[in-house]
Amino acid sequence: MAGRLTIHPMHKIILKAGREKSLKRRHPWVFSGAVDRLQGSPGAGETVAVQSRDGEFLAWAGYSPDSQIVARAWSFREADTIDAGFFRRRIGESVAARPVFPGADAWRLVHGESDGLPGLVVDRYSETLVAQITTAGAEFWREAIADALIAVTGVKNILERSDVDVRELEGLPSKVGVLRGEVKDEPVVIEENGVHLSVDLWRGHKTGFYLDQRDNRALTRQVTREYSHGADVLNCFCYTGGMSVAALAGGAKSVLSIDSSGPALAIAADNVKQNGLAADRAEWMEADVFQALRQLRDRGRQFDLIVLDPPKFAPTAHHAEKATRAYKDINLLGFKLLRPGGHLMTYSCSGGISADLFQKVVAGAALDAGVDAQILRRLGPGVDHPVSVHFPEGDYLKGLLLRRG
C-alpha cells in the first residue's frame, strides 16, 4: 500500500563492478545499464537499498521499474529510514532554506533533486501549494508528502499538477486535481516584486507560472528604468506578461509582447490592467516568434530592450544541435532589431545547453548580425531554485544581459 511501511525482506539493487562511482559522488540517479541484479521484488516506487558489487551500501532509493533511470536516491546514509518522518524532515529543511522574498508571496519550496527530493516540485502561490510528482518513488510517498507539506507550511490547500510528459517514462498517468483542502478553478493573484499577477494554477504552464524568472523580471524593470526618456521594449515568449508588466512598471514607452498562446496573452493583458499600468503602451501579438521577428525586421522596427525567453528547445544534450540553431536564429534577429546601445536579455532554459555553449551561440549571433555586444551580467534562476553541486542536470536556466555596441 502506497506510503505505508511494510515489513518485507529488503529489496536491493546490486550494481555492476565500477558503476558505483556516480552514487559515491552523490549523483542521485541509477541507470538501468549500471544494474547487475535486483534482489527481492520491489513494487513501483518502493524503497530499495543500492549496493556496489562488493556489497558496500551506497544509497536508499525509490524504484522506477519502467524507467531507464531505474532508481533515484532519497538518502546516502545507511542509518536513515525512508518513511513519513523522513519526508517531513526533508521537506522541512527545504522550506526552511527559503529566504523571505520582499514583495512576493510566491516561490518554490521544493526543487526536486537539488533539494534531495527527486521527482518532487512544490511551489507556493499565496495560500495554495502546487505539487508536481514526476517519479514512481515520489508517487509512492504522495500522501506522506502531502501531509508533510501541510504540517511544515501550515498551508491547507494543495493542487496536484502531475501532468507532465516525463511521467509517461515512469509508467504513471497524467493527473491534475486537488490533493488537499480546497482549490477553486479560478485565477490566483500573486505578488511578485511588488506587482500583482494572475496565475491559472489548473492550466498554466509548469505549476502555473515561471517562478524561476522572478529576479530577472526585477532586472527587466531595472534596465527599463535606465532609459530616462522611456524605452521601446520587445518581449518575446511573454507568456502571462510578467516581463511586460515589469517593463511597464519600469517606465517603458512601449512594450510589444509576443506569444503563441492566446489564453496566456489574455491573462497578460489583464495583468497590465490590474497593476494600473497604461494599457495603451502595451501591444500584444499572438504569433510564432520566429516569424514575428522576421516581420518586425522587414518593417524596420527597432527597440531599446529585447527579452528573449523561449521554452526549452533542448530538454537533453541529445537535442542540442537543433536547439542551437533555434537559439542562434532568434538571437541574431534580436540583435538586428536592437538600437545601438540597446539591451538584450536572452535566456535558455534547456538542460541540454550549457552556459558556455549558450554564450558561444549568442556570440555567433552577434557576429552574423554584424554587431558588437558586451555581457553585462550572467543570469540564472532565483535562490528558491538552487542547483545541487552533485546534480549538474539541475542547472537548466541560464541567461545573459548584453549591451549592443
One of 349, 361, 365, 369 is an active-site residue; which one?
Answer: 349
Q: Report the residue from 311, 340, 341, 405 that binds ligand SAH according to the rule CB under 6 A.
A: 311
Of 195-224, binders to ligand SAH (CB under 6 A) are: 210, 213, 217
Which helix (H) or strand (E) segment holds residue 286: the answer is strand 282-286
Closest to ligand SAH by CB, 118 or 204: 204
* DSSP H helices in 59-188: 84-96, 136-140, 142-153, 166-169
* DSSP H helices in 7-83: 21-24
Q: State phi, psi for 234 to the nearest 5 degrees.
A: -120, 120
The nearest distance, CB 392 to ligand SAH, in angstroms, is 23
Closest to ligand SAH by CB, 28 or 352: 352
Closest to ligand SAH by CB, 127 or 329: 329
The nearest distance, CB 157 to ligand SAH, in angstroms, is 23
Q: Which amino acid is at 347?
A: Y
The nearest distance, CB 396 to ligand SAH, in angstroms, is 13
Binding-site size for ligand SAH (CB under 6 A) equals 20
Of 75-134, binders to ligand SAH (CB under 6 A) are: none
DSSP string, 183-234: --SS-EEEEETTEEEEE-TTTSSTTSS-GGGHHHHHHHHHHHHT-TT--EEE
Closest to ligand SAH by CB, 113 or 212: 212
Determine the Cα–Cα distance for residues 145 and 127; give it in Å rounded to an integer.
18
Whether 349 is a known active-site residue: answer yes
Cα–Cα distances in Å, from 399 out to 43, 92, 117, 218, 380? 41, 31, 26, 14, 6
The nearest distance, CB 30 to ligand SAH, in angstroms, is 32
Q: Report the residue from 123, 200, 309, 384 that binds ligand SAH according to the rule CB under 6 A.
A: 309
CA proximity to 385, closest of 402, 368, 367, 398: 398
The nearest distance, CB 236 to ligand SAH, in angstroms, is 7
Closest to ligand SAH by CB, 73 or 236: 236
For residue 333, give the DSSP letter.
H
For residue 75, the SS3 value is strand
For residue 57, give the DSSP letter.
E
Beta bridge partners of 175: 162
The nearest distance, CB 234 to ligand SAH, in angstroms, is 12
The nearest distance, CB 215 to ligand SAH, in angstroms, is 11
Of 257-276, binders to ligand SAH (CB under 6 A) are: 258-261, 264
Of 326-385, binders to ligand SAH (CB under 6 A) are: none
DSSP string, 345-387: EEEE--TTS-HHHHHHHHHHHHHHHT--EEEEEEE---TTS--
Closest to ligand SAH by CB, 59 or 201: 201
CA proximity to 24, closest of 37, 12, 33, 15: 15
Closest to ligand SAH by CB, 149 or 323: 323
Quote the cell numbers at residue 285: 501579438
The one segment of 138-146, 285-293, 330-338, 358-366 that binds ligand SAH by CB under 6 A: 285-293
Specify the pairing of strand 69-75 against strand 303-308.
Answer: unpaired
Q: Report the residue from 66, 288, 321, 372 that binds ligand SAH according to the rule CB under 6 A.
A: 288
The nearest distance, CB 216 to ligand SAH, in angstroms, is 8
Residues 6+ away with beta carbon under 8 Å from 297:
333, 336, 337
Q: Are 172 and 162 in contact (CB under 8 A)?
A: yes
Q: Report the residue from 49, 91, 282, 289 that binds ligand SAH according to the rule CB under 6 A.
A: 289
CB-neighbour burial class of residue 398 (10 A; exposed 0-12, middle 13-18, buried 19+): buried
Closest to ligand SAH by CB, 11 or 108: 108
Of 229-258, binders to ligand SAH (CB under 6 A) are: 237-240, 242-243, 258
What amino acid positions are annotated as catalytic residues? 349
> Which residues of this protein are in contact with ligand SAH, per CB under 6 A?
210, 213, 217, 237-240, 242-243, 258-261, 264, 288-290, 309-311
